[in-house]
Amino acid sequence: MKMGLLTDSHQSPNKRKFRKYLIKYKTLVCALLYISGIAYFCSLAHSSRNNATYFSENALLPGLVNSEMRSEHTNFALRLHDDLEREREKHKTSMPTAWILAKFRQIGLEAYSHNFTLNYPLGGGRVFIGKNVYGILRAPRIGSTEAIVIATPYRTPESIHPIVMPSLPILIAFANYARRQKYWAKDIIFIVTDQEQLGMHAWLEAYHNPKGILNSNSILNCGYLEARAGSIQAAINLELQSFDLNHIDIKIEGLNGQLPNLDIVNLVQRIAAKEGFISGHRQTSNFKRSGAKSSWEENFRHLISMLLTLSGTSPNGNHGLFYKFGIASVTLSGQKREQTNYKRRANGATSMLRLIEGIARSVNNLLERFHQSFFFYLLVASDRFVSIGDYMPSLGLMVAALLIKAFITWLNINHKSVMIDIDGKDTDKDSEEMISSLLENNEANSNDHLSFIPVAKFLIVAHIFGVVAAYLPFAAPIDIVFHEHGIKTEVYLFFSLLIVSLVGLTLPIFFSISANNKELLHVAVLLEASTALIIVGMLNFSLGFLLCSFFVPFALFIDPKSGQFKTRLSQLICFLMNPIMVVYFVVLLLTWWSFDELSIIAIIKRALTACMDALTFSIVDSIIYSNWLFPLAAFIFFPIWITFFGILSLTSQSKQTFHETKKKL
């Protein structure tokens, strides 16, 4: 078997010397690449390594609108708030659908309800029923070709989430104001969703499914919409805890790490500043921070915070579900002020109505979808960002470490190319030293013929385990049996997947391949891991970067040719790198950080429960929302983990000894 480049039998002495040093210093080269990737990413937090945000779409004309909002609209919102408080006393556990529909119709909107049903995919055939309410304001200047969505989730008094009751009066009051204006070129859809993200997801699926009700046997029956508006261009989701707000946190993280067009983020911040709000991404106080003037530490904390949220692949608000349909959207999460009075409530309501008016009128100016600005970026502050061209090299450097190791491993197993012309025709001192080094490490063996068949067999079986892990949660008969015996879904899933992973560790018992083929398997898994990491990084950089940060050092440490002690240590580390164990350790650290007053035993138990819940939620999200975190772990990284453990545990066929090989040379 021959290769060009570094394995060519007729290379110059300089190339052979380069190959020799590359093999000799492979650990150093790979480590430097990994460290360079981490250092490069950390440097992005410095103000000289990121850019100020700016508008790419001039048609938005942000801040140039003269508001026509009057005190009568503010008073209307305050009266609605008082009416809603009385209505909530009658509906402790459900949304006051009739009251909302009546208010929509009173102000002249086309008002409808939208029913949806979730057949819970895990756990005893439970069914959840929800009802959204939406109203449509038709654009007076054009046919229903385009639309803007203004939405808010309705949370009952018993909800575990922060109460955002003022959002609904603000939404209705703005709808009442907007109905009287004649300049709208886009329809405006006002939505009040039930069941948090599930209600919004069902409404969006139904809106983009004009044929009506989906398959009645499907997990989520999205129902049917009696009326539609135009193609949705943008959406604003309101989560206001009070009329008098301390600050507004602009949420942008979406499903599977997607982000909205940066122009809509800049638009919201510009108009919010005009109306006197302290706002921004990850805004946590009434202090407005500038990334250009902030320290590296502050920018880095902001960057890491965004990275961690995006890597979870779940949206942190209803806005994140719009990205699936190419719709720019953000959530305005208004945090209430501790002390307030009637005057401040009224002023706050007026400012919020003007903020929504400014956003809606700016989007109303657009002649096409948001497209000119960035979709792939990271924010180091509300006014500073890093684009994809700046942050991707950090991921490339870390993945390059795995590719270099794969290539050097390939050089080692191509001993025929290394030991060419051993009889003295084309052998120099450097080549002889390298050959001797390879022999001393048992890397040269003329009886070890490379064969892709045993390698392919092992990889196929390892990926079959991944398929089993991915489809195990959907084994309905098994699930029903466990429920009949009172075993919870999360317990069944956790221990079932744990058993599958432990069975996967026994795979090396059934295989016995030569040393060179084991090295070939090592090359194959390194290439698969590198490819998976770079693809994940291109789709969701945050997840790809975090996976590289933890996985690359582990992959570089694994060496099937190492001594017995390092092999045993590698096996232990590999065992702990089980995807389920990794999730548990992460949850354990978070639990310890959040509940440090608890005892060690209590923290361990709480972390186990939280890990089971996290695993279950990940599976459910993959089924309902197409969140691909669980499928990615099951189909790709679980088989890779089994393969790495197999490389350390596979038994090799008999070899020639060093002396026999050296005598032949």
Helix or strand holding residue 118 (H, E): strand 110-119
pLDDT digits (tens, 9 = 90+) for 380-435: 999 999 999 999 999 999 999 999 999 988 887 775 444 444 444 444 455 455 54
pLDDT digits (tens, 9 = 90+) for 543-563: 999 999 999 999 999 888 778
pTM: 0.88
Q: How far apart are the first and last CA of the chain?
A: 19
User: Domains in the chain, ordered, with CATH?
Assistant: 5-44+391-661 (no CATH), 69-382 (3.40.630.10)
pLDDT for 427 equals: 47
pLDDT for 423 equals: 41
Residue 463 pLDDT class (50, 70, 90 cuts) = very high
pLDDT for 53 equals: 92
pLDDT for 478 equals: 57
Residue 664 predicted with pLDDT over 50: no
pLDDT digits (tens, 9 = 90+) for 190-244: 999 999 999 999 999 999 986 654 444 578 889 889 999 999 999 999 999 999 9
Residue 187 predicted with pLDDT over 70: yes
| Mean of per-residue pLDDT scores for the chain | 86
pLDDT digits (tens, 9 = 90+) for 136-166: 999 987 888 999 999 999 999 888 899 999 9
pLDDT for 475 equals: 67
pLDDT for 70 equals: 83
pLDDT for 481 equals: 59
Q: Is 258 exposed, middle or buried (0-12, 13-18, 19+ CB in 10 A)?
A: buried
Tokens at 111, concatenated: 């008002």
Residue 14 predicted with pLDDT over 80: no
For the sheet containing 384-387, what is the strand order? 51-52, 384-387, 377-381
Among 333, 235, 231, residue whose Cα is nearest residue 278 = 333
Query: Does residue 665 sit in helix, strand or coil?
Result: coil
460 vs 522: CA distance, rounded Å: 14
pLDDT for 480 equals: 60
Residue 102 predicted with pLDDT over 70: yes
pLDDT digits (tens, 9 = 90+) for 496-523: 899 999 999 898 888 888 878 888 999 9
H helix intervals, 414-475 = 415-418, 429-440, 452-471
pLDDT for 487 equals: 74
Return all residues near 336 (Cβ < 8 A) that are at least 6 apart.
241, 242, 244, 245, 246
How far from 329 is each of 232, 325, 406, 407, 595, CA to CA, in Å? 10, 11, 42, 44, 35
Residue 58 predicted with pLDDT over 50: yes
Higher-pLDDT residue of 53, 451: 53
Residue 655 pLDDT class (50, 70, 90 cuts) = very low
Among 499, 496, 521, residue whose Cα is nearest residue 508 = 521
C-beta of residue 23 within 8 angstroms of C-beta of residue 411: yes
pLDDT for 643 equals: 94
Helix or strand holding residue 235 (H, E): strand 231-240
Higher-pLDDT residue of 19, 128: 128
610 vs 312: CA distance, rounded Å: 15
Residue 484 predicted with pLDDT over 70: no
CB neighbourhood size of 591 (10 A)? 21
| Winning range, highest mean pLDDT, from 38-42, 449-453, 558-562 | 38-42
133 vs 192: CA distance, rounded Å: 5
How far from 249 is each of 34, 316, 376, 638, CA to CA, in Å? 35, 12, 20, 37
**Sign of the four-CA dihedral 235, 237, 243, 249:** negative
Name the residue with tokens 């480590």: 31
